[in-house]
Structure 1
């Protein structure tokens, strides 16, 4: 299922045919935008040029879902499965904005999850969340990691007991090295570039959460293997928010099939140039809580990947 790049044209159509797809993910400059670029390159190479993906800058996962209402069968977008469920139920940020188009959203394949990192300087002596008390932490502003970090401080009785640094997350590594902060919170794919830099240049401890804490967050458990970051000799157990590539029933089955097949057959090669793809495997299919596109279902059945009744 997860092999090297496919060789030659893969679409069951004449060589002159070309399928064009728009892939909408995140803001330019983010790791998720870069993933989109990598997927586009992999699709072109893996399909022998028959699948051409145009990467479009996104303004956030909610907006990606909202655009389903006006898009056609060439639209692929990324968002957490939980937002698809909220859109289809007309709840939370989708209240009063329901649309029949949301019911036609279908999943293709998982991409790296948004993974929480509580990064503490070695000098801080912190080994668990309780050790954040009295420390100066940089959360950043406006990001999923910042919002989630604030939520955890409240959840675990640390609100008002932690000094929150007034700075942007982009300054986190420099501030940590200079001793201005004891740690920072960040969320993204792993290995996270800012955590790699901090571990290599400053020496850090990335905190683990226990199973009881993870259950309280109501997020998905994720293990970052030992050796991912410099000085990390044990697995890190943390929380994550799954992210999935979606389309709608407007997409032709054959196109969805080829996109899904080419993704998995290209994943190993993508992981050679970007380590975050190494954490994506068939087990992550369990994070997809809604229906898969029929074309994707065809691929998974051929590949022997077990699907749930709700995904069919």
Structure 2
């Protein structure tokens, strides 16, 4: 009987799946406070990562207390292992650009997947203002002795930072334009009303196509999407907001594709993450793309192959992620 039990035990061990012997690895995924899109994405991404097959048994804790300016620093400093960030904020944090990151560079983070959600920087102007002023480009408006009234979200949003860099490319700044009486920062809920009332002329936004406020604005007020020059777009590209075409017909009043800056949402990892762990979770997320798209219509346009390219990943890829993308033939 002893030999029978020994044989049975050996047989049982032989048929156990390899996952039973996988090394457990605990990961922390930083998102944002409940109510935000990144918080919603966190639950599905963590579920996919935890169900992934590979050398490691991955466990994920979602940290719902991050944000656009917090997450790159948290991941880089090891307070989190993974995090959703805007690609532009990842660049600012990496290079210590702007007062938000000066002196606290976050250069120990690498990209896992890019291009999850493309947010376009839009410059929407009341058609009535364009017709009366004769100013048809962003550059002309900034240079005007009598500039239009720009309306932006309050501090804490990426929009004022992006707007400042746009002004900076033309030799001005947000502070300079504010001193000229051209800037109003107000809650999103009031922006559409100001444009309808004619108490604001230009609405600068950074958001995915279909964003609620921009949709309301373009449906209730005749608007024109005015272009920025290559000088502005090139400067924005250097700061992690590459040039891109917002698709034709994204909003009423948009004629043809709109050339502008784009800030992708990317998933980053601490650079010290084990390469095999990064490979395993990258493969799981990419191969569960349909599940992600089904759960979140805003991510239905995510193309993992395009997201692996420099213009959508923006920062350097983690070696584990890069290995998976090479296997797919998506990068060299």
Please give the TM-score of this superposition, normalised by the length of structure 2: 0.69
1:178–1:106 CA distance, 2 compared to 1 (3 A) = same
SS at match of 1:175: helix
1:255–1:68 CA distance, 2 compared to 1 (3 A) = same
Deviations 1:84-122 (A, max 9, x none): 5326x9x99353x57xxx665332111335531212233
Structure 2 gaps of 5+ residues are 1-16
Q: Residue 202 of structure 2: which of 183, 201, 204 is its match?
A: 183
What's the Cα RMSD here? 3.8
Look up the match of 1:152: 166
SS at match of 1:278: coil
SS at match of 1:13: helix
1:231–1:259 CA distance, 2 compared to 1 (3 A) = farther
Q: Residue 61 of structure 1: which of 69, 72, 76 is its match?
A: 69
Alpha-carbon distance in structure 1 between the residues aligned to 2:170 and 2:181: 12
CA displacement at 1:247 relative to structure 2: 1.4
CA displacement at 1:215 relative to structure 2: 1.8
Maintained 8 Å contact 2:38/2:84: no
CA displacement at 1:15 relative to structure 2: 10
CA displacement at 1:137 relative to structure 2: 1.7
Q: Residue 124 of structure 2: which of 71, 96, 119 is its match?
A: 119
Look up the match of 2:233: 214
Deviations 1:190-213 (A, max 9, x none): 443321232233342233323343
Are positions 1:282 and 2:301 aligned together?
A: no
Look up the match of 2:219: 200
CA displacement at 1:289 relative to structure 2: 5.4
SS at match of 2:45: helix
SS at match of 2:254: coil
Look at both structures and tell me which one has the larger radius of gyration over its CA atoms: 2
Look up the match of 1:171: 190
Deviations 1:126-178 (A, max 9, x none): 64212465422212221221122133235436736662225223321232233
Alpha-carbon distance in structure 2 between the residues aligned to 1:150 and 1:203: 26
CA displacement at 1:278 relative to structure 2: 1.4
Structure 1 gaps of 5+ residues are 1-10, 308-312
1:279–1:227 CA distance, 2 compared to 1 (3 A) = farther
Equivalent pairs counted in the alignment come to 288
Look up the match of 1:105: 109
Relative to structure 2, which stretch is displaced further, 298-307 or 264-273? 264-273
Maintained 8 Å contact 2:76/2:271: no
Look up the match of 1:304: 329
Are positions 1:260 and 2:282 aligned together?
A: yes
Relative to structure 2, which stretch is displaced further, 279-288 or 232-241? 279-288
Q: Residue 93 of structure 1: which of 98, 101, 106 is its match?
A: 101
